[in-house]
Amino acid sequence: DGAQAGDVVAISGPHGRSAAGLAAIRAGLGTEFEALVLAHRRPNPPLSLGMQLAGTVQRRAVMDSSDGLADALLRLAAASQVDMVLAADQLPLQPDLLALADRLGVDPLDWVLYGGEDFELVLCLPEADARRYPALTVVGRLKPSTGQGGQVWLDGQGGRVCLEAKRCYDHFSSCPPVAQ
């Protein structure tokens, strides 16, 4: 039935791990960051959760994050003609991803938002439905559009920034725009 203002944005798992794994390989750090490399080489999409949600949640908008979290969010917002506000401190960041980002001098949110191939679910649904599933992490909320819809904002320590479609991962490009 689509997303509506007041719904929450939820994700089925962490993002940025595949992009971080690729960065570890390229930097010659694959053996130190094996779990990230595994996330890149062998993604594990939440198929059973997707089936469960499809059978029990009546009103939802959902897609996978194969082209990155930002791409999925921007597409969902545009299709539903709503805006989204995410809380940076609600995005799950694992210690190994943070350690690699620190080592390479990369902002981990670049991997989380703009890296691709994580294959997690990105959902917009009523908050009560999201809370019924412990596997989901609520990371934001949908707002009425201030224009034509499709704006996605990230609230963090640096204030509020708008996610940029031009930075999104392109599954078919020869050089994805993720930090190396």
Tabulate helix, strand, coil % of the chain (nearest 5): 40, 20, 40
In this predicted structure, the answer to whether residue 39 has a pLDDT above a threshold of 70 is yes
Confidence of residue 165 (pLDDT cuts 50, 70, 90): low
In this predicted structure, the answer to whether residue 178 has a pLDDT above a threshold of 70 is no
In this predicted structure, the answer to whether residue 21 has a pLDDT above a threshold of 90 is yes
In this predicted structure, the answer to whether residue 112 has a pLDDT above a threshold of 90 is yes
CATH code: domain of residue 135: 3.90.650.10
* Average pLDDT over every residue of 17-22: 98
Answer yes or no: are the C-beta atoms of 40 and 17 closer than 8 Å. yes
Confidence of residue 1 (pLDDT cuts 50, 70, 90): low
Taking the C-alpha atoms of residue 178 and residue 22, their distance in angstroms, rounded to an integer, is 9
The strand pair at 137-144 and 152-156 is best described as unpaired
Residue 153 lies in a domain: yes
Total of domains in the chain: 1
Residue 179 lies in a domain: no
Q: Give the pLDDT of residue 148.
A: 72
Interval 51-97: pLDDT, tens: 999 888 887 899 999 999 999 999 999 999 999 999 999 999 999 99
Kindly report the average pLDDT of the chain as a whole number: 89
Q: Give the pLDDT of residue 56.
A: 85
The residue segments making up the domain with residue 148 are 8-165
Confidence of residue 179 (pLDDT cuts 50, 70, 90): very low
3-state secondary structure (DSSP) of residue 39: helix
Residue 94 lies in a domain: yes
Residue 101 lies in a domain: yes
Q: Give the pLDDT of residue 168.
A: 47
* Average pLDDT over every residue of 154-179: 61
How many CB atoms within 10 Å of residue 47? 10
Angle made by CA atoms 115, 81, 177, in degrees to the nearest 5: 15
pTM beyond 0.75: the answer is yes
